[in-house]
């Protein structure tokens, strides 16, 4: 569920499950009994049982937790190995543009500079910083051995609602489902006009590779692909959508009710 919509007080288990498994414990702490379907409360020593996530005092899930959910789901559905660097995930992306990507969330300038040293001079490694305001990282001169790869993406989330949709006239739809991951495409008879991928881990769905070919844009195909993938992911048990959006994508997702949570800034190492 959208973190903003965490109710201020829920007392009954049925309500908790209905509302998306959030619980206000004695009005002081909020825990999320995620995916276990049972109520969990912090122990007297204020430790949280496995599977629970502490929310911030104002009731929001921390930005770090939200992004780590995205990393976990992304790595799971693509079967990517994840290591740790200074406490942040280093994902073995094995993609055409990069071998590895470090993901960090507003780590502070000193920690950022340590991570930057890891990526510096490695043209196959990306370092992506997420945050509400990235001026602290973006404004000073770039650490040596790095270049800015992308500064136009944003991190977005939504509470998923299935919306049945008809295949647009003149297109053939096809699905390629591989475990918890599905690719949906629309073909115009000659080539793929639009497609997208969604992967589900527990109640989280990550959307990826949403694309409409240039000649077919602004005719509702992107909206249709997102509806089809959303309905499939909800059928798999997903309730929250998470994604990294390009500028074009952010326009589409905002029109579908997604909310921008964080800015993103991606650096690549520069070879010597």
Ligand X SMILES: CC(C)(COP(=O)(O)OP(=O)(O)OC[C@H]1O[C@@H](n2cnc3c(N)ncnc32)[C@H](O)[C@@H]1OP(=O)(O)O)[C@@H](O)C(=O)NCCC(=O)NCCS
Residues near ligand X (CB under 6 A) are 194, 210-212, 217-223, 245-246, 248-249, 251-252, 255
Q: What is the residue-wise DSSP string for 142-169?
A: PPTTEEEEE---EEEEEE------PPPT
Q: Which helix (H) or strand (E) holds 83?
A: strand 82-85
Burial code (b: 16+ CB inside 10 Å, e: under 16) for 118-156 equals: bbbebeebbbbbbbeebeebeeeeebebbeebeeebbbb
- What does each C-alpha distance from 266 to 34, 85, 103, 107 come to in angstroms? 30, 16, 9, 14
Minimum distance of ligand X from residue 261's CB (angstroms): 14
Minimum distance of ligand X from residue 78's CB (angstroms): 16
Minimum distance of ligand X from residue 56's CB (angstroms): 27
Residue closer to ligand X, measured from CB, 91 or 244: 244
Residue closer to ligand X, measured from CB, 32 or 160: 160
Residue closer to ligand X, measured from CB, 182 or 245: 245
Minimum distance of ligand X from residue 244's CB (angstroms): 7
Minimum distance of ligand X from residue 225's CB (angstroms): 7
Distance CA 204, CA 91 (A): 18
- Check: CB of residue 20 under 8 Å from CB of residue 41: no
Residue closer to ligand X, measured from CB, 199 or 249: 249
Residue closer to ligand X, measured from CB, 177 or 255: 255
Nearest alpha carbon to residue 157 among 246, 35, 240, 256: 240
Minimum distance of ligand X from residue 218's CB (angstroms): 4
Minimum distance of ligand X from residue 69's CB (angstroms): 18
Residue closer to ligand X, measured from CB, 35 or 97: 97
The tokens describing 226, both together, are: 């997102």
The tokens describing 268, both together, are: 């690549």
Residue closer to ligand X, measured from CB, 62 or 163: 163
DSSP alpha helices (H): ranges in the chain?
A: 13-18, 63-78, 109-119, 135-138, 221-235, 247-255
Residue nearest to ligand X (CB): 251
- What does each C-alpha distance from 238 to 61, 146, 162, 198 come to in angstroms? 18, 37, 10, 11
């Amino acid at each position: 569920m959208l973190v903003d919509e965490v109710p201020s007080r829920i007392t009954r288990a049925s309500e908790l499950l209905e509302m998306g498994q959030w619980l206000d414990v004695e009005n002081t702490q909020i825990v999320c009994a995620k995916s276990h379907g049972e109520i969990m409360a912090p122990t007297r020593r204020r430790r949280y049982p496995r599977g629970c996530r502490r929310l911030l005092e104002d009731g929001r899930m921390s930005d770090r937790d939200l992004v780590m959910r995205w990393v976990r789901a992304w790595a799971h559905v693509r079967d990517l190995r994840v290591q740790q660097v200074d406490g942040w995930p280093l994902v073995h992306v094995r993609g055409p543009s990069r071998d590895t990507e470090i993901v960090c969330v507003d780590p502070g300038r000193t920690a950022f500079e340590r991570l930057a040293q890891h990526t510096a001079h490695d043209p196959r490694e990306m370092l992506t910083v997420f945050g509400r305001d990235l001026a602290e990282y973006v404004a000073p001169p770039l650490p040596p051995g790095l270049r800015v790869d992308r500064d136009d993406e944003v991190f977005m989330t939504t509470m998923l609602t299935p919306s049945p949709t008809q295949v647009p006239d003149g297109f053939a739809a096809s699905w390629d489902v591989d475990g918890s991951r599905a690719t949906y495409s629309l073909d115009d008879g000659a080539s793929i006009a639009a497609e997208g991928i969604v992967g589900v881990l527990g109640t989280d769905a990550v959307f990826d590779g949403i694309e409409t070919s240039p000649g077919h844009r602004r005719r509702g195909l992107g909206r249709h692909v997102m509806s089809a993938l959303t309905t499939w992911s909800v059928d798999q048990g997903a309730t929250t959508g998470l994604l990294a959006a390009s500028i074009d994508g952010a326009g589409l997702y905002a029109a579908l009710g997604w909310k921008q949570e964080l800015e993103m800034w991606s650096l690549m190492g520069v070879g010597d």
